[in-house]
Every structure is written in structure tokens, then in C-alpha cells.
Amino acid sequence: MLCSFLIPTIETSVTGHLRSKSHKDVSGFTVFVKGTGVSMIGLDMPHTDKNGNFILAFNVGSEPGDISFYFVNKLHDTLLLNRVNHLISETTEMTFWIK
């Protein structure tokens, strides 16, 4: 007998905005999330548009831990934007400021 178990997940999306306090160009940056019970949806990582806007789609497990938001700059440095304990809803809007 073959058995399988599906872990319940919640599809979540974040409409995000990456802004620069020094008015630097924030277009084309890769943005992603990591965390316990978190998995990105799709094969391509989202990139910021010419205004620094992006949409992240990911699945969150039924008992998620912290969710960390990262971006990769044009020099290929991976930097932590923010870490949150939980998201209020399945569709959230967030703005991240960098120097």
C-alpha cells in the first residue's frame, strides 16, 4: 500500500516596493523569501521594475516561523531587507527602504 501526506499550505502574495533613501536606481533587483515552511511559487525569482515594485508569490506552511525577505543587488550581494513573525493576510503590501 502506497501512502502520501500533503502538508497544508497557504498561498500568499506580497506586493512590495523597494525604495532608496539616496534615490539610487532600484530596478532589476532580485527579491525572494526564506523561512521555515515557506516555498517560492514558480521557477523565476521576481525582479523589481523600473519603480522598484515587485510581487512575490509563495506558500506558507500551516505553522510558519519567521519569514525573511531578501534582495540581490547588481553586484550579486544578498542582503536581508526584513524579517517578520507572521503576515496579517494572504495578500500583503510592504515597502522596504535601503540606503
Mean pLDDT by 10 residues, the chain (99 residues): 64 90 92 84 79 89 79 90 80 89
For 60-82, what is each residue's pLDDT tens digit?
876 667 888 999 988 899 999 99
> Given this model, what pLDDT does residue 96 score?
93
Asked if residue 96 is part of any domain, the answer here is yes
- Count: domains in the chain: 1
Asked if residue 82 is part of any domain, the answer here is no
Of the candidates 14, 4, 54, 6, the residue with the CA atom closest to the CA atom of residue 35: 14
Bridge-based pairing state of the strands 67-72 and 78-84: antiparallel
**Extended strands (E) in the chain:** 9-20, 30-35, 38-40, 53-61, 67-72, 78-84, 91-98
Q: Containing domain of residue 56, as a range?
A: 11-62+91-99
Asked if residue 52 is part of any domain, the answer here is yes
Asked if residue 81 is part of any domain, the answer here is no
